[in-house]
Amino acid sequence: MKIVWAPWRMAYIKNARKPRGCIFCSKVRERRDSVNLLLHRGQHAFVMMNLFPYNSGHLMVAPYAHVKSLEVLSADSALDLIRMTNLSLRVLRAEIRPEGFNVGMNLGRVSGAGIEGHVHLHIVPRWNGDTNFMPLFSETRVIPEHLRATYRKLRAGFRLALQEKGTLRQGPGRDLKRVHPRL
């Protein structure tokens, strides 16, 4: 028998109860980006790693606005959500080189939304052969890289992508790396 070592999962097992309040709202207000795995803050949306990922590099893109569904977002927030998604895809391709992605939203409890009250988009990098027997037989998913190592790699990738001239603009002449909301 082979042993799968995934010590970070113990935090999930011990703290499996749902947090009080909205994790997106509370984590972005804390201003402890590395502790909370926040990778980038845009004008109306932000990018953070999933603390309990399906795969290495599993990201979530969320608006600052606490709304249940996509159609309730302002046009600026919806546009920034897509801009952050595009930036995230670019960084993931450069830093961890997935062969594909699952990108989507779960709107409402019956769709599988774990956090119903705050709309967010998941980006799950995929590689050929990344699904195996473990989830089927033992309800265990194996993540090959530690979250903190992935965070450091992706954080550097976001910084590099934003330093490149003309990479991403937020409205006329407003560079995203200089735009931060006041919460």
Tell me which residues are annotated as active site. 120
Rounded CA-CA distance 72/75 in Å is 9
Q: Cα–Cα distance between 162 and 168 in angstroms, integer? A: 7
- Non-local (6+) Cβ contacts of 131 within 8 A are none
Q: Which residues 6+ apart lie within 8 Å of 113 measured at CB?
A: 106, 107
Local structure of residue 161 (DSSP, 8 states): H
Q: Which residue has the tokens 């927030």?
A: 77
**Closest to 54 in 3D by CA, of 134, 118, 111, 119:** 134
